[in-house]
Amino acid sequence: MEDNLFDVKWDSSSVKQISPLTLAFVGDAVYETFVRIYLVYKYRDMQVHNLHVKAVKFVKAHSQSEIIKKLETQLSEEEMYFFKRGRNAKSGTVPKNADVQEYRFATGFETLVGFLYLTGRLGRLNFLFRSIIMLESEGKF
C-alpha cells in the first residue's frame, strides 16, 4: 500500500481490469466532490441546504445523461471505450427518479470520470468539468 493514496496512479491496462461499476463508484465520488467544491467556490455564503439543492441539479442521473450526450463528441476513442463499458454494465438497480437509459448513460459518465481520475488525467478532468460548468450556465441541463 502506498503512503499517499492521492498519489497512486494507474495505467490504462490496469484500469481495464477494474469492473466498470467499480470505476463508476469512484467517478461518482470524484464528480460529487468537484460539484460541491465548485458550488462552495461560486456561492461561498449560501446556506448548506441551498448548496445541496444546486448540487442535486448536477449529480442526478438525468443531468449526467444530458451532460455526457453533449460531451461525447469531444471524447477520445479510449474515453469512449470506458464510457461505453459503464453504460453497458448491468447494475441490477435503477433509481426511482430516473429511467433505465438515463441511469445507464449516467453510469457511463461516472465510469469515465473514475477512469480519468485513477489514471491521473486531471487536466482532462478539468477540461470536462469546465465544459460542464459552461453547459450549466447556458441552461443545457
7 has catalytic annotation? no
Separation CA 24–CA 12 (nearest Å): 15
Choosing from 7, 11, 28, 99, which is the catalytic residue?
28
- C-alpha 95/C-alpha 19 separation (Å) is 20
**Which residue shows C-alpha cell 468537484?**
34
Task: Evaluate whether 42 touches 116 at the Cβ level (below 8 Å).
Answer: no
Q: Note whether 120 and 83 are within 8 A (CB).
A: no
Catalytic center residues: 28
